[in-house]
Structures are given as C-alpha cells and as structure tokens.
Structure 1
Amino acid sequence: MVKTQCGMRSAWQRLHFRCERVRLDEFIGQWKARKHLTK
C-alpha cells in the first residue's frame, strides 16, 4: 500500500514536472519573442 502510494506520487511528480517544464519553455519562448520584437 505504502509502496504503491509512493510510486504513484513519484509518477505524478514526474508528470507535473513535465507540465511545468512545457509551460516554462512556452514562457521563455514568448519572452524571447517579445524581446526580439522590441529590439
């Protein structure tokens, strides 16, 4: 039970990290585009 819960949590954290990573990449892309526009 504890082992399964721990495994599920680590898997959820990996998925959450991946989502955060995608959002971060999008944010950096938009920021770079905006910076390029103002240049």
Structure 2
Amino acid sequence: MTTRTRSVASPRPGFAGETVRALASTLLLLGLIGDRRVR
C-alpha cells in the first residue's frame, strides 16, 4: 500500500518507477564491483 500512496503523491506517474530502476541498477553495479574487489 505504501508504494501506491507514494506513486499517487509523486507528480509524475512514472517517476517512482524510474527512481526504483535507477536505485536497482546502482545497487547491482555496486554489488558487482564489490564482488570483483573481494575476489
């Protein structure tokens, strides 16, 4: 339910989706870099 309220509160309907995708991509990149450094 929180996601719905946030999406409605945001001015743009796709803004929430874009932010989520950006965060996911950054997290994936950071994870890959961390794994490479550890190995």
Output the TM-score relative to the length of structure 1. Answer: 0.64
In structure 1, stretches of 5+ residues that fail to align are: 1-6
The 4+ residue runs of structure 1 with deviation greater than 4 A are none
| Unaligned ranges ≥5, structure 2 | 1-8
Identity of aligned residues (%): 7
Return the index of the structure with the highest Cα Rg.
1
In the comparison of the two structures, how many residue pairs are matched?
A: 30
CA-based RMSD of the aligned residues comes to 1.7
TM-score by length of 2: 0.64
Higher helix residue share: 1
